[in-house]
Amino acid sequence: MLKKVLLSTLLLLILVPAGGLAFLYLRKPAAAPPRDVRVPMTPERIARGKVLFENICDCGGCHSRRDFTRFGGPQLPEGIGEGTVLSDFLHGLPGTVVAPNITPDRETGIGTWTDGEKIRAIREGVDRNGRALFPMMPYEGFRKMSDDDVESLVAYLNSLPPVRHALPQTSLQFPVNLMIKGVPQPVGQVPAPDRTSPAKYGAYLVSLAGCADCHTPQERGQPVAAKAFAGGQVFASHAGTVVTANITPDLDTGIGKWDENFFLKKFYDYKDYVEYGPPQISDRRSFTLMPWLGFSQLPPEDLRAIFAYLRTVKPVRNLVETHPGA
């Protein structure tokens, strides 16, 4: 009798984890059918999409070829949207992580995708085959992107010249390859943001810009909720290492002593870099992944809204050295 009990227990100990593992391997990410929509290619939509791509969402930060010998790693015009192998540049990623070619090239890009499939990938995190995208693509924030804005972003993508640039597919290590299947979520209709309140509009822009994604430290791949926006996340790359700053309203270690004018000036000081070209990086303190160049082109009302929202987040005391050892 005892032997039967021990054998049954042993079988349970083997079968239950095996069954759970099989479920994780076989399950599909949550996904709704792509919308049956053809985005109008109006000048207004394309112009708004360009602002989203270049200045708010920083899509080119991952999906375009960049020159990291210069401040801010400006995008190279001939390589906009062609995609990059991010794990060849950033250290510590869990496998081969690729920001794919998102130009309309039919063989190596997304030229055969429907507009609905593009919208679903941006906001829900699954590709046209229903495969979960690695959430370094900030679709968790893009879930809040309004219908008008996501259609404008797609219109801009459709307007890009096709670039033939073949890339490998993202291949993640175990168990990350299984864990990310639970991240995508279907998104219904999303209304336009509330612009009557600067802080509410700022919350919308902060979600699209992914500020929390970079400025919140992580433990075991998950953001530390108690340190939201408090900085300290390390980005090590072949071009240099930078640690994100504390942007909570903490008076001593964050931006609590900044006023609105100083906040705007901090960004607009880089406007000339966009117009005349950023300088060569002279030392390690010049290296940054913060999209200063793109944000410097935002209108004052957008930056004021972002500042208004950041004033509402919880102050966290967290002293950060952004360029350790430099």
pLDDT in tens, the chain (326 residues): 555 555 565 555 565 555 455 555 568 999 999 999 999 999 999 999 999 999 999 999 999 999 999 999 999 999 999 999 999 999 999 999 999 999 999 999 999 999 999 999 999 999 999 999 999 999 999 999 999 999 999 999 999 999 999 999 999 999 999 999 999 999 999 999 999 999 999 999 999 999 999 999 999 888 999 999 999 999 999 999 999 999 999 999 999 999 999 999 999 999 999 999 999 998 888 999 999 999 999 999 999 999 999 999 999 999 999 998 87
In angstroms, the first-to-last Cα distance of the chain is 69
* Residue 311: strand, helix, or coil: coil
Could you tell me how far CA 248 lies from the centroid of its own chain?
20
Per-residue model confidence as pLDDT tens digits over 258-277: 999 999 999 999 999 999 99
Taking a C-beta distance cutoff of 8 angstroms, is the pair 305, 202 a contact? yes
Res 5: pLDDT? 55
Instruction: Sketch the domain layout of the chain as residue ranges.
Output: 43-182, 198-310
Helix (H) or strand (E) holding 219: strand 218-219
Taking a C-beta distance cutoff of 8 angstroms, is the pair 35, 113 a contact? no
- C-alpha span between 62 and 144 (Å, rounded): 20
- C-alpha span between 77 and 268 (Å, rounded): 22
- What residues have CB less than 8 Å from 73, skipping those under 6 apart? 61, 66, 67, 239, 289
Res 122: pLDDT? 98
- What is the pTM assigned to this prediction? 0.92
Per-residue model confidence as pLDDT tens digits over 111-133: 999 999 999 999 999 999 999 99
DSSP of 144-209, one letter per residue? Answer: T--HHHHHHHHHHHHHSPP-----PPPEEPTTHHHHGGGS-------PPP--SSHHHHHHHHHHHH
Torsion on CA atoms 137, 167, 97, 216, rounded to nearest 10: -30
Torsion on CA atoms 98, 99, 100, 101, rounded to nearest 10: -130
Helix (H) or strand (E) holding 236: strand 234-236
